[in-house]
Structure 1
Amino acid sequence: MIAAAKLNRTIVVATLVLILALVNWSIWAKERHLAAGEVVYLELAPVDPRSLMQGDYMALNFDIGNRIQDALLERRMQSGEMDAADGHVVVRLDAQRIANFERLDSGESALEADEMRLRYRMRNGRVRFATDAFFFQEGHAERYEPARYGQFRVNGRGEPLLVSLHDTELELLGEMER
Structure 2
Amino acid sequence: MTKIKSIFIVINLLLLIGYFNWSIYAKERILSEGKLVLIELAPVDPRSLMQGDYMHLNYKENTFLEKVKIPKRGFCLLKIDSNGIGHRIALIKDMRPLGNDEVVVKYFFDGNEYWPSIHIGAESYFFQEGKGKKYEAAKYGGLKIDRNGNSILVGLYNKDLKLIL
Q: Which band: TM-score by shorter chain? A: 0.7 to 0.9
User: What is the CA–CA distance in structure 2 between the aligned matches of 1:106 and 1:163, rounded to whole Å?
Assistant: 26
Q: Which has the higher helix share?
A: 1
Contact (CA 8 Å) 1:107, 1:117: kept in 2 or not? no
Q: Which residue of 2 aligns with 1:156?
A: 147
Q: Which residue of 1 aligns with 2:103?
A: 116
Contact (CA 8 Å) 1:86, 1:120: kept in 2 or not? yes
Q: Which has the higher strand share?
A: 2
TM-score with structure 1 setting the length: 0.81
Q: Which residue of 1 aligns with 2:6?
A: 9
User: What is the CA–CA distance in structure 2 between the aligned matches of 1:7 and 1:111, rounded to whole Å?
Assistant: 51
User: What is the CA–CA distance in structure 1 between the aligned matches of 2:160 and 2:102, rounded to whole Å?
Assistant: 22
SS of corresponding position for 1:70: coil
Given the alignment of the two structures, is residue 57 of structure 1 paired with residue 54 of structure 2, yes or no?
yes
CA-based RMSD of the aligned residues comes to: 1.7
Larger Rg: 1
Q: Which residue of 2 aligns with 1:166?
A: 157
Aligned equivalent of 2:43, options 42, 46, 62: 46
Amino acid corresponding to residue 153 of structure 1 in structure 2: K
SS of corresponding position for 2:161: coil
SS of corresponding position for 1:143: helix
Q: Which residue of 2 aligns with 1:70?
A: 65
Moved more, 92-101 or 110-119: 110-119
User: What is the CA–CA distance in structure 2 between the aligned matches of 1:84 and 1:167, rounded to whole Å?
Assistant: 32
Aligned equivalent of 2:80, options 85, 88, 93: 93
* Shift, 1:135, TM fit: 0.8
Deviations 1:64-99 (A, max 9, x none): 112xx236x2xx3xxxxx432222122111112100
Q: Which residue of 1 aligns with 2:128?
A: 137
Amino acid corresponding to residue 61 of structure 2 in structure 1: I
SS of corresponding position for 1:27: helix
SS of corresponding position for 1:56: strand
- Structure 1 runs (4+) deviating above 4 angstroms are none
Amino acid corresponding to residue 43 of structure 1 in structure 2: E
TM-aligned CA distance change 1:13 to 1:169, over 3 Å: same
* Shift, 1:13, TM fit: 1.0
Contact (CA 8 Å) 2:70, 2:109: kept in 1 or not? no
